[in-house]
Amino acid sequence: MRLNEISDNQGATKDRKRVGRGAGSGTGKTSGRGHKGQKSRAGATINGFEGGQMPIYRRLPKRGFKNPFRKQYRIVNIDDIQRAIDDGKIKAGAELDAQSLQDFGIVGKGKSGIRVLGRGKINAAVNLNVAGASKTAITAIEKAGGKVTVG
């Protein structure tokens, strides 16, 4: 076998569709787009346009309110912290805040800080400085010998 004899398996590659190359190609003249109108033109389709009829998104009533200033917390459960301690990412008794939890890869980037929730169990003592925590998370961490500072 030589380098110039190497080829792909049969059917492994597919030629691209060459439109507008004559009637014999099957995609000549109108290039498979039909005849005239907006959809036959390049880059012209209007989402939500219903042929002059009032679009459904305008016919339906608008309800509710979405607060643009709402706080979105990144959520960490105490079993996530315990798993990080077991894996050796965090030392027991460490001081943890939003930046350190992000550096250790426990949480991703977020807007309004971190909220600790009480799913799972924690055995090691850790000192957390977070934006929010549930009562069950605070009692579990304090029972393990740690401390939670909310603020």
pLDDT in tens, 106-137: 888 877 899 999 999 999 999 999 999 999 99
The reply to whether 8 falls in a domain is no
The reply to whether 131 falls in a domain is yes
**Considering Cα of 55, then 56, then 59, then 63, what sign does the dihedral take?**
negative
Number of domains in the chain: 2
CA dihedral of residues 100, 104, 108, 113 (deg, nearest 10): -20
Of the three residues 31, 64, 97, the one that is the final residue of a domain is 64
Q: Are residues 26 and 46 in the same domain?
A: yes
Q: Are residues 56 and 83 in the same domain?
A: no
Q: Are residues 80 and 117 in the same domain?
A: yes
Q: Are residues 86 and 143 in the same domain?
A: yes
pLDDT of 15-40, one tens digit each? 999 999 999 999 999 999 999 988 88
Question: Is the whole model's pTM more than 0.75, yes or no?
Answer: no
Domain hosting 56: range is 17-64
The reply to whether 123 falls in a domain is yes
Q: Which residues are within 8 A (CB) of 107 and not within 5 positions of it... i.e. 6 or more apart?
A: 74, 75, 76, 98, 101, 114
CB 74 within 8 A of CB 115: yes
The reply to whether 119 falls in a domain is yes
